[in-house]
Chains A and B, each alone.
Chain A
């Protein structure tokens, strides 16, 4: 009896197209086509496991079983939904019951994003499962089972290996890097702020309202432009001041007159080696307008008659920040440029000199362009870093002095420190998120442009 059943099924399988059978089976029960028809046990089981994961999670985190058993009379996804349905519901509505015992909008949002990403990934597995069934079906119909088994044994293991190894890194990145970014982007389209703080209040979707606010409300657009302009000035000035100071010191050190190159180099590297935050906090105190020893020194020696507000005057504070950044940043470029200088062909300069070019001319026309070209990627990377150099601003001046014409921003605030204040001090999460998106676009465009010119990109 059993034998004849198997034979019957086998005979049927040969008669009807295997391709169709496999696809139909795998459409309903994931991996069943591969498992039953193509006898690819491992692959089939893995696909089936994904389906079990999807349905199992949904069933056992929700109350679906009770619902099907008729124990729940008025069913709602909010109360009885499982991981995926409740997640998606939360993502769309961000809660419907206000109050401490009601819905917590941001947690619903985060769970919703996680559920949505998980759902998308499992749907991806489902699609791969069906297309794979289709492909294997065609192969089975044309080649026969034996040939395929021989081929697959090797290739399945080989194909699965990269995915298996990448799994931990992928999970960590999706949860810790990607999820918060999606959350941050989505926040820009909500009214998540001081007046809508969960758990007491609900957050709602507001569409592009925050973006229009940035353009149409004068104080927002004015603050944004003021801060943006200073951010750009800061990034450019900070990068190039350190670059040229580094270049100057590198040239000085490689001059033939210097005997104790190593000693000076060791001293110059110190600011790079010392943790940046400590340096900044030290300078914050050194330049303190009331008790700072620098002011005291100037007073004692009679150079000034009253204390200078290095960090609290709008213009002076900007200059002080750039000066401190110069102290901290020039060693990096100095070391990099020393490396480039050591690898340069002296003969090129000799040739120019023989042709009658003066020393300055050789430097300006030949040496400097060559050095700039060799260090261009470093300069651009440095620009991008300074654009978001939160520490230099926050630890030194805290963005201050405060400027009452600006919306919660001080005179030395750059975009990122302004965002920090909006988030932590003002709790204007939605507006901060709008700014986040703009910064990200800016950085991404610059970096991608920079990157698209490198070899790494072409050889990817």
Chain B
């Protein structure tokens, strides 16, 4: 009897929390299938289902353009960040040279300064170098911002790989760079996956910097474009926003689920810094 009551109570709690989690998600999916434009007309159980909002995304807005911009920024960011992070972390972990400790402490301090607090300077810098309104230029900010924190993370990981492995390769006549690409990189696949995936996912929903640096509708990224749809008072494009949100949330959610193991490991390692 006691077992049954326990079973019931625990499942009741689990189901309640599941509902708490799921209802907003179901609501936004339903809204995206609603007829009508505004928030008020987005009822939980629509009278009729329609894919019009999804079609309108591609005909009435620059959604595909925004998607492409975001994708290019995200992909480039993943590649460039990972290259810079891995090289820097490898040097910091395996070589002993003057200024190493100072450099490590310096980037540790730098990683504590939120990037977007320096927006005025970045804006002026971009204006100076004629980089405003160019989505690709965002990559350099993201990559630079990613280095400090992730270098510490990856350095911690590399420190855990015995140095004897590289030493053996050097004795066999391998060069530095060859050892890096043939031995260090393959051994650090989990942490590379973490860096690449997290750097790929980040730009999709970053709002502040792209909003400030990109002015024309064509060059916007998804986050800025989607926000623009509902920033008006009357939310007249709400159902279209819902469609756009669902359309981008689904692939990112799947990506997250797929790489969940690596992301969890990466965060745990980041909190412990190795």
Interface residues of A (CB under 8 A from B): 106-107, 110-111, 159, 161-163, 165-166, 168-169, 172-173, 175-181, 183-184, 187, 249, 252-253, 255, 257-258, 264, 266-279, 281-286, 288, 291-293, 297, 327, 332, 335-336, 339, 377-378, 380-381, 384, 388, 390-391, 395, 416, 419-420, 423-424, 429, 436, 439-440, 443-444, 447-448, 451, 454-457, 459-460
At the interface, yes or no: B125 with Cβ under 8 Å from chain A?
Answer: yes
0 or 1 for each of B65-101: is its CB under 8 Å from A? (1 = yes) = 0000000000000000000100110110001010011
Partner of B227, one of A257, A281, A390, A416: A281
Q: How far is the CB of B196 from chain A (nearest CB, A)?
A: 17
At the interface, yes or no: B145 with Cβ under 8 Å from chain A?
Answer: yes
Partner-contacting stretch, out of B56-64, B186-194, B203-211: B203-211
Q: Which residues of A contact B38 (CB under 8 A)?
A: 291
0 or 1 for each of B8-29: is its CB under 8 Å from A? (1 = yes) = 0011011001101110110110
Query: Cβ of A165 and Cβ of B87 under 8 Å apart?
Result: yes
Closest 5 CB pairs of A and B: A180-B118, A180-B121, A176-B144, A183-B121, A273-B256
Q: Which residues of B contact A444 (CB under 8 A)?
A: 109, 112
What is the CA–CA distance of A336 and B260 in the complex, to the nearest angstrom? 12
- Given the known interface contacts A172-B144, A173-B110, A264-B14, the answer about A270 and B120 at a Cβ–Cβ threshold of 8 Å is no
At the interface, yes or no: B42 with Cβ under 8 Å from chain A?
Answer: yes
- Given the known interface contacts A162-B95, A443-B112, the answer about A377 and B24 at a Cβ–Cβ threshold of 8 Å is no
Q: How far is the CB of A88 from chain B (nearest CB, A)?
A: 18
Query: Cβ of B120 and Cβ of A184 under 8 Å apart?
Result: yes
What is the CA–CA distance of A286 and B147 in the complex, to the nearest angstrom? 37
What is the CA–CA distance of A453 and B3 in the complex, to the nearest angstrom? 44
Query: Cβ of B245 and Cβ of A282 under 8 Å apart?
Result: yes
Query: Cβ of B238 and Cβ of A297 under 8 Å apart?
Result: no
Q: How far is the CB of A110 from chain B (nearest CB, A)?
A: 5
Q: How far is the CB of A1 from chain B (nearest CB, A)?
A: 45
Query: Cβ of A339 and Cβ of B264 under 8 Å apart?
Result: yes
Query: Cβ of B14 and Cβ of A258 under 8 Å apart?
Result: yes
Q: Which residues of A contact B249 (CB under 8 A)?
A: 274-275, 278
Tell me the B3-56 residues at the A interface (CB within 8 Å).
Answer: 3, 6-7, 10-11, 13-14, 17-18, 20-22, 24-25, 27-28, 38-40, 42-44
- Given the known interface contacts A173-B107, A281-B226, A460-B101, the answer about A110 and B260 at a Cβ–Cβ threshold of 8 Å is no
Query: Cβ of A269 and Cβ of B128 under 8 Å apart?
Result: no
Partner of B10, one of A255, A270, A297: A255
What is the CA–CA distance of A378 and B273 in the complex, to the nearest angstrom? 10
Interface residues of B (CB under 8 A from A): 3, 6-7, 10-11, 13-14, 17-18, 20-22, 24-25, 27-28, 38-40, 42-44, 84, 87-88, 90-91, 95, 97, 100-101, 103-104, 107-110, 112-122, 124-125, 127-128, 140-141, 143-145, 147-148, 151-152, 156, 159, 176, 201, 204-205, 207-208, 212, 223, 226-227, 230, 235, 238, 241-242, 245, 248-249, 252-253, 256-257, 260, 264, 267-268, 270-274
Partner of B28, one of A162, A282, A390: A282
Query: Cβ of A184 and Cβ of B118 under 8 Å apart?
Result: yes
Partner of B21, one of A270, A447, A457: A270
What is the CA–CA distance of A162 and B22 in the complex, to the nearest angstrom? 51
Query: Cβ of A264 and Cβ of B120 under 8 Å apart?
Result: no
Q: Which residues of A contact B141 (CB under 8 A)?
A: 176
Chain A, residue nearest B122 (CB): A180
- Given the known interface contacts A183-B121, A377-B271, the answer about A271 and B39 at a Cβ–Cβ threshold of 8 Å is no
Query: Cβ of B24 and Cβ of A327 under 8 Å apart?
Result: yes
Q: How far is the CB of A200 from chain B (nearest CB, A)?
A: 15
Chain B, residue nearest A111 (CB): B128
Q: Chain B binding site: helix, strand, loop or mixed by DSSP?
A: helix
Q: Which residues of A contact B118 (CB under 8 A)?
A: 177, 180-181, 183-184
Q: How far is the CB of B117 from chain A (nearest CB, A)?
A: 5
Query: Cβ of A278 and Cβ of B272 under 8 Å apart?
Result: no
Chain B, residue nearest A113 (CB): B121
Query: Cβ of B104 and Cβ of A173 under 8 Å apart?
Result: no
Q: Which residues of B contact A439 (CB under 8 A)?
A: 114, 117
Q: Which residues of B contact A336 (CB under 8 A)?
A: 264, 267-268
What is the CA–CA distance of A184 and B103 in the complex, to the nearest angstrom? 21
What is the CA–CA distance of A336 and B10 in the complex, to the nearest angstrom? 21
Q: Which residues of B contact A258 (CB under 8 A)?
A: 10-11, 14
Query: Cβ of A187 and Cβ of B120 under 8 Å apart?
Result: yes
Q: Which residues of B contact A416 (CB under 8 A)?
A: 114, 117
Query: Cβ of B235 and Cβ of A440 under 8 Å apart?
Result: no
- Given the known interface contacts A258-B14, A291-B38, A443-B112, the answer about A169 and B88 at a Cβ–Cβ threshold of 8 Å is yes
Query: Cβ of B97 and Cβ of A327 under 8 Å apart?
Result: no
What is the CA–CA distance of A175 and B131 in the complex, to the nearest angstrom? 14
Query: Cβ of B10 and Cβ of A273 under 8 Å apart?
Result: no
Chain B, residue nearest A436 (CB): B117
Partner of A278, one of B17, B109, B245, B256: B245
Query: Cβ of B91 and Cβ of A381 under 8 Å apart?
Result: no
Question: Which of A180, A264, A457, A460 is the most central at the interface, judged by chain B CB atoms within 10 Å of its CB?
Answer: A180
Q: Which residues of B contact A327 (CB under 8 A)?
A: 20-21, 24
What is the CA–CA distance of A336 and B264 in the complex, to the nearest angstrom? 7
List 8 additional A-B contacts (Cβ < 8 Å) besides A162-B91, A175-B125, A274-B253. A166-B88, A166-B103, A257-B10, A268-B21, A278-B249, A332-B267, A335-B264, A336-B264
What would 23 A/B residue contacts be, using CB atoms closer than 8 Å? A107-B124, A107-B128, A161-B176, A162-B97, A166-B88, A168-B84, A169-B147, A177-B115, A180-B119, A181-B113, A183-B118, A183-B120, A184-B117, A252-B13, A252-B14, A257-B11, A266-B257, A285-B39, A378-B268, A381-B271, A395-B207, A416-B114, A420-B208
Q: How far is the CB of B82 from chain A (nearest CB, A)?
A: 12
Q: How far is the CB of B62 from chain A (nearest CB, A)?
A: 18
Query: Cβ of B257 and Cβ of A269 under 8 Å apart?
Result: yes
